[in-house]
A = this chain, B = another copy of it.
Amino acid sequence: MANEKLKFTCDYMEGAHPLIMKELLSTNMMQTSGYGLDEFSESARDKIRKACGAPEAGVYFLVGGTQTNATVIDALLRSYQGVLCADTGHIAVHEAGAIEFGGHKVLPLPNTDGKINAAQISAYMDTFLSDESHEHMVMPGMVYISQPTEYGTLYSRKELTALNEACRRYHLPLYVDGARLAYALASPDNDVTLKDLARLCDVFYIGGTKCGAFFGEAVVIPDPALIPHLFTIIKQHGALFAKGRILGIQFDALFTDDLYLHIGKSALDCAAAIKSALKENGYRFFLETPTNQIFVILENEALHRLEKHAEFSFWENYDDSHTVIRIATSWATTKEHTDALIELLKENRA
């Protein structure tokens, strides 16, 4: 350990939560049907429906975030429609054009700390509809947000309600990317529950890959009639997992005894400790976040010193002499590593 660097690069460096591994192991030689038609998947779907207060919801398990976004967005849009989102949205920047690959334009709106708001949706739609040549333009067909956002910020229930109302007014389905949803649910600053999501969104996904699962994301469609033939659409996108039970087992474990609701807690505790240390030692935040991602502006020299002992995620060049880095904790971050990082941050500042 002495010569190994501390790693706070991202929230998917480890495998799976031990309870998940245990279930995967104990069920390993059982024989089940493929494609999510097994009993584990059925059980996981039931538990998720209950947790979301959406007894009729369609629940589908996919493998990863980009795949899920591309599949859901293709399923929600008509061929000539585009998707409104923050200009920092994952689909706008970091999915290598997966949405455009499906034929759809990403329509970016200026973000505020990674978020967009209801007024922006309304303004965009009003301008669009009043434009004489709007039939020559891409018709917005849905809204994409993420909770937490790519910047680790949160939509409040009030903000989400306003977005829901704006979306309804313009007949735009609202889709929430919950790749890191566990870190929202565990945040003391959060007031949006799974039930709120099921009530206020048309589709959302519960992220597994970054939240303690080996891998996998659970798509929830409170009113499944919204997307007919999603099974086939998933298959068409190469997103149908043959041994579906592997996904089912994981989400069954995550939704047993509310594990998913708590799994982000230790990550937030570690993040809180790191944030305090940063503040106490005079570090400068790029923005304040209530979840497991911390964005800090460092002098490049300080960064080089830190990087001898720890790994972070490069975020962006702030100016010629400063860099924005991201420190990410996760369900697997240990107190030991957190303390070591805090020590390092203290020393380095001195």
Contacts and interface: CB of A to CB of B under 8 A. Distances in A.
A111 to B, nearest CB: 16
A256 interface: no
B103 A106 contact: no
Max chain B Cβ within 10 angstroms of own Cβ: one of A68, A135, A209? A135
Contacts of A209: 242-243
Interface string A63-90: 1111111110011001110100000000
A79 B332 contact: no
Interface in A97-152: 97-98, 100-106, 132-133, 135-139
A139 B246 contact: no
B29 A332 contact: yes
Contacts of A235: 66, 95-96, 98, 135-136
A2 interface: no
A21 interface: yes
B34 A132 contact: no
Contact of A240 (B13, B31, B64, B243): B64
Interface residues of A, number: 75
Contacts of A192: none
A260 interface: no
A97 B45 CA distance: 27
Interface in A1-48: 7, 9-10, 12-16, 18, 21, 24-25, 27-34
A14 B242 CA distance: 11
8 contacts: A15-B27, A15-B28, A16-B28, A64-B241, A71-B238, A80-B229, A135-B235, A136-B240
Interface of A: 7, 9-10, 12-16, 18, 21, 24-25, 27-34, 63-71, 74-75, 78-80, 82, 93-98, 100-106, 132-133, 135-139, 209-210, 214-215, 229, 231-233, 235-243, 246, 314, 332
Contacts of A27: 15
Contacts of A93: 137
A193 to B, nearest CB: 26
Contacts of A32: 13
B16 A31 contact: no
Given A9-B33, A97-B104, A139 B242 contact: no
B243 A214 contact: yes
A97 B231 CA distance: 13
Max chain B Cβ within 10 angstroms of own Cβ: one of A10, A30, A32, A136? A136
